[in-house]
Amino acid sequence: MPDASLEAFRSELVEWLEANCPASLRPGATSTKEDRDSWQQVYIERGYTMPTWPREYGGGGLSKDEARVLSHEMGRFANWVPVASFFGTSMLGPVLLEFGNEEQKKEHLPKIVSCEIQWCQGYSEPGAGSDLASLQTRAVRDGDKYIINGSKIWTTGANNADWIFCLTRTDPDAAKHDGISFILFDLRQPGVTISPIQLISGASEFCQVFFQDVKAEARNLVGTLNGGWTIAKRLLQHERAMLSGGTGGGGERPQAKKGPVPAPTSALAEAARAHLGEKQGQLADYPLRDRIAQNEMDALCFGLTLKRSGEQAKAGQGPGPATSMFKLYASELNKRRSEILMSVRGAAALGWSGDEFTPLDIMETRGWLRSKGNSIEGGTSEVQLNVIAKRVLGLPD
């Protein structure tokens, strides 16, 4: 039997969508930037970029069931859903809700919801990659501020970020995991130098960031002094869930309609059909056809497992060590898919630049090269295997 209060919410929501969603954003229409911008502003004012966050922090204040209704109705009404910065919504926001004090929540969470502040993550260092707790970036208390010196590397999006959530060593004499603090500070200040790193794919999404006598307000220490490792681990669980597709930042992904889960649309099969042709109604290359079918089945099973796990997490305490399993599998699945796609495209997979290759050829070649980083970013696959062994399977050190 339908929940009366939930159906009342749905009716109110549909009425609001009818009144506010621009016609150019309805399914089948062609949207304009002006309409997307105005729709995003209306969406933000309702707190719907983070629908389940409390209203006092800029969120929508919806229950999980109401958020699912929002996701479903948005899928029916609009061909474009505004989203906020994933570093803020999927990583920093959840740990601020869990570990931040009231002042920090009221200052930072609304700016994440409204996309006013873009965040990046200051974890990895040149001498502390997979061994994250070996970090050496120092923060020393000076009155009402911390003075920060050191360097972070592989900092995604630092060149476009306004603020950073950063792990710093605040007690060099303490045990390795005990002298670390989690501090927030402004990246756009004197003493910060940001250098993009050129990748094999030709992109520069990663940066090295240098801090020389950079200042952080002491009130932006999250949690307790020297207690940052606990927050760091929690945030990594959120990051792995996000990288594996296990969270949507506050709601489900939009769905076009109710009913059974449809058969997956196979972009791989379409690419193969264009390059290899068909024989008796099937892809002409039998070995490749088998690889594509296996990859599609794996992706479907993985998606269903993520959905089941997400429902369990919503009913419990959020993401746990099992996110390492999902991050590991998502990395390998995407790398296999990219390898198959390159096999399908034949000589077109050599496309890097020049008029002899289409923009799609070039994009997919660079995407294949980019996929090599999947098993390194967000904690290497070796780190994930260690977490699975110790935290999931309970194996001894």
Q: How confident is the model at residue 264 (pLDDT cuts 50, 70, 90)?
A: very low
Q: Over the chain, what is the mean pLDDT?
A: 86
pLDDT score, position 314: 63
Q: Which of 66, 205, 239, 364 is catalytic?
A: 239
Helices 4-20 and 64-77 cross at an angle (nearest 10°) of 40
Task: Taking residues 107-127, report their average pLDDT.
Answer: 93
Share of residues in the chain with pLDDT > 70 (%): 91
Listed residue (359, 317, 370, 364) closest to 344, CA to CA? 364
Q: How confident is the model at residue 258 (pLDDT cuts 50, 70, 90)?
A: very low
CA–CA dist 290, 354 (Å, integer):
33
pLDDT score, position 183: 98
Q: How far apart are the first and last CA of the chain?
A: 51
Query: Where is pLDDT greater, at 84 or 287?
Result: 287
Q: For residue 309, give Cα distances in angstroms to 135, 244, 247, 316, 318.
A: 32, 12, 10, 10, 10
Query: Where is pLDDT greater, at 193 or 317?
Result: 193
Torsion of CA 30, 32, 37, 40, to 10 degrees: 0
pLDDT score, position 316: 60
Question: What pLDDT digit, counting tens, does each position of 303-335 carry?
Answer: 888 877 777 666 665 667 778 888 899 999 999
CA–CA dist 396, 394 (Å, integer):
7
Task: Please name every residue paired with 139 in a beta bridge, in sequence order, or none if there are none.
Answer: 148
Compute how many other C-beta atoms are within 10 angstroms of the C-beta atom of residue 129: 17
Dihedrals phi, psi of 336, to nearest 5 degrees: -65, -40
Quote the Cα angle for 292-244-39, to 5°: 105
CA–CA dist 98, 238 (Å, integer):
12
Listed residue (154, 251, 145) closest to 197, CA to CA? 154
Torsion of CA 220, 222, 223, 224, to 10 degrees: -50
Does 125 qualify as catalytic in the annotation? no
**Residue listed under structure tokens 């992109």:** 203
